[in-house]
Structure 1
Amino acid sequence: MMSYELIGITVLWIFLYGYLIVASIDFGAGFFAFYAKATKKDHIINQLISRYLSPVWEVTNVFFVFFFVGLVGFFPDMAYYFGQSLLIPGSIAIVLIAIRGSFYAFESYGSKDNLVYMFFYGATGLLIPASLSTALTISEGGFIEETETGVHLLSGELLTSPYSWSVVFLAIVSVLYISSMFLTYYADRAGDQPALDLVRKYALFWSSPTIIASLTTFIALSQQNPEHYQRAIDLWWVFGISVAFFMVAVFLVYQGKNYGWAFIAVMFQFLVAFFGYGASHLPYLLNPYVTLSSGVTNETMAIALIVVFIAGLLLLIPSLVLLMRMFLFDADYVKGKK
């Protein structure tokens, strides 16, 4: 029988996975919108991107908020260690999110044609996941130290670590890969052939860096945290399944058919890899300071949080399905007729 702390971290990991997919589509779309404008191709895909972003951008951070609040609630020690060590990278991420959010306000007043605004919009789409990935890097250990004055981030080690930069690279290319795969499906559903031809090239282009970045991160992990690396190797079959889904997705896009199934394969690719990474990371949440059993709150509080967050998940998922049916997958809306 699963312990309540394992159930808790599983529920939180589901929320973080949801944020990974939804935010990646949003962040990557912003970059592609800027890139298209910079290369004079904005007339091909930017209307398509705008139709996706308009109803979705406001709910993107719901998954992240649930995860952050739940993490602090389930594992209070994480607030102590991450609260101090992530002060600088966390502040940078908040500023970037604020800049990105302000773009939508400027867009409402007709500034979306301004290349400077588009640059900040596109740049934040890559810098936000890069800054947020710092938390996963720090969790491997070796980047913070606890002294009498508190917890301190070892900035020098973080900035010179090959593992740290490999995670940043993986975060960026994964965003572009997931987003381009979704936009390929979205363009096909809209019947927009010029946009489909363009974003399909993006999807195929960013598929190779994604698998290369994944392998590079594994190699760097073997140097940064050999114990975690060995646990990941023991779960080789999980990551093998992820690679199989990757090959299916790329093959379907290359063949130019079944783009919906291709994106579903992408979702399963990251689902399997994400939970494989999480499982191999256990029992540590923050190596070596916080483990799954040592950092958990009391049983009564944990059970209450599990009930609340499962209820939230059961409410959030149908809400997103309804949103997609009303806007994203409505035939007239997708084709720009309403």
Structure 2
Amino acid sequence: MSFTALGMIVLYLFLFCYIVIASIDFGAGVFLLQAKLRGTQKTLTPVIARYLNPIWEVTNVFLVFFTVGIVGFFPDFAYYYGTVLLVPGSIGLLLLTMRGSFYAFQNYGPDSKFSWLLIYSVAGLLIPPSLSMGLVISEGGYITKKGGHVDLNWADLFFSPFAWSVVFLALVAVMYISSGFLTFYARKAQAMKAYALLRKWFIFWGPPMALVSLFAFITLRSQNKEHFDIAVSQYWWLFLISIICLIAAWVLTILKKSPGTAFMLVILQMATAIGGYGVSKWPYILYPYINGNVNKTDDPMALALTIAAVCGLLLLIPSLILLMRLFIFSKDYVEGKSEEGHY
């Protein structure tokens, strides 16, 4: 295995961690807004706030590591994506900045306002579609290169079934993952009213998650048949495991059994789906312009980047585990016996 391939595995771990942690974070913001609108904030807000307070500042670190790493391994990545993703990328960064700022205003300011919560929640819902444009464009068919000039075909992107399937998948995945974790977290906190509400949301988002995932997989065939054929012929078992995990988590939640196990199945579901997508796509980073076996940095640089990425992972994962043990899953903290934020 080359250093580049090993580095990409580490970068995929960063991306996977970001997808899970950020989805919980983004979805939690939507549930806070929903609780405010429906008058259930006394039920839901304490549980959600206890999760958000310690974790919101570290979420984007995984995204930064992934972005810096992939540009280091594949210098052409900055050339192509820096041009075609200028608009959606800038929107995503603006939304991330707005979301962090208004969370701070809302949670740590002397007074809270509904408008701040609204901006915080809506921004969190819009970030996944804006960031998912990178995945959509990576499948090819949207970029034209004439000489040294790169153009994005906006009309093709806007009217692409695959592009819209990924956008809807990003939105549904956020609500699905977040409701799954918060259901488990509410049960652990012994907040049974919050658990009942969040359990209904997780059950609700299960079927849309399955349907949108299937739609995205089908539309991939029309967008990139080569990738689709490899995924179906060689890595079908990973996607089968993902489907089984989705069904098992949904059934356990319906039966009110083991919410912790149900969320671990959600994690396994996402891990196998993302893993299957990644390995079936390799060595292409951007069809057909960036091939991981050809358009890569030299071996000494790849080795240095791999070591740096592994060290970053070894630093972040234990830090995240420590944060969870000290705060998020601490018995006194999760049951609200220590100080918590307000909304």
TM-score for both structures, normalised by structure 2: 0.96
For structure 2, which runs of at least 5 residues remain unmatched after alignment? 339-343
* Aligned residue pair count: 336
Match of 1:51 in 2: 50
Q: In structure 2, what is the equivalent of residue 236 of structure 1?
A: 236
Moved more, 48-57 or 116-125: 116-125
Tell me if the contact between 1:86 and 1:135 (Cα under 8 Å) persists in the aligned partners: yes
- What is aligned with 2:324? 324
Deviation at 1:155, TM superposition (A): 1.0
Q: How many angstroms does 1:105 deviate by?
A: 2.2
Confirm or deny: 8 A CA contact 2:103 2:116 kept in the other structure: no
Match of 1:180 in 2: 179
Alpha-carbon contact 1:191-1:335 (below 8 Å) kept: yes
Q: Which residue of 2 is the match for residue 16 of structure 1?
A: 15
d(CA) in 2 for partners of 1:39 and 1:188?
A: 21
Task: Kindly report structure 1 stretches of 4+ aligned residues shifted beyond 6 Å.
Answer: none
Provide the rounded CA distance (Å) in 2 between the counterparts of 1:284 and 1:99.
33
Distance 2:84 2:8 in 1: 21
Q: SS of the residue aligned with 1:121? A: helix
For 1:205 and 1:33, the matched residues in 2 are separated by 17
Change (3 A) 1:111 1:138: farther
Which fold has the larger relative contact order, with Cα–Cα distance below 8 Å and residues 6 or more apart in sequence? 2
Match of 1:58, SS?
coil
> Could you tell me how far 1:147 is from its partner in structure 2?
2.0
Report deviation, 1:115.
2.4
Q: Secondary structure at the match of 2:57?
A: helix
Q: Which moved more, 1:211-220 or 1:144-153?
A: 144-153
Aligned residue for 1:120, secondary structure, equals helix
The one-letter code sitting in structure 2 at the alignment partner of 1:329 is F
User: Is the contact made by 1:28 and 1:180 (CA closer than 8 Å) also made in structure 2?
Assistant: yes
1:302 partnered with 2:293: no
1:123 alignment partner in structure 2: 122
Question: Unaligned 5+ residue runs, structure 1?
Answer: none
TM-score (norm 1): 0.98
2:30 corresponding residue in structure 1: 31
Tell me the secondary structure at the aligned position of residue 288 of structure 2.
coil
1:111 and 1:48 mapped to 2: Cα distance? 20
Letter in 2 for 1:312: G
Q: Who is 2:217 aligned against?
A: 218
Per the alignment, do residues 215 and 111 of structure 1 end up closer, same or farther by CA in structure 2, a change over 3 Å counting? Answer: farther
SS at 1:141 equivalent? coil
| Structure 1 partner of 2:134 | 135
1:159 aligned partner: 158
Give the equivalent residue in structure 1 for 2:272: 272
1:66 paired residue number: 65
Asked whether the equivalents of residues 111 and 117 of structure 1 are also in contact (C-alpha less than 8 Å), the reply is no
Structure 2 CA distance, aligned partners of 1:39 and 1:281?
Answer: 43
Residue 149 of structure 1: how far off its partner (Å): 5.3
Whether the 8 Å contact between 1:26 and 1:53 is mirrored in structure 2 is: yes
SS in structure 2 at match of 1:305: helix
Matches of 1:151 and 1:82, distance apart in 2: 9
Please give the alpha-carbon distance, in whole angstroms, between the structure 2 residues aligned to 1:316 and 1:106.
27
- SS at the partner of 2:285? strand
Structural RMSD (CA)? 1.0
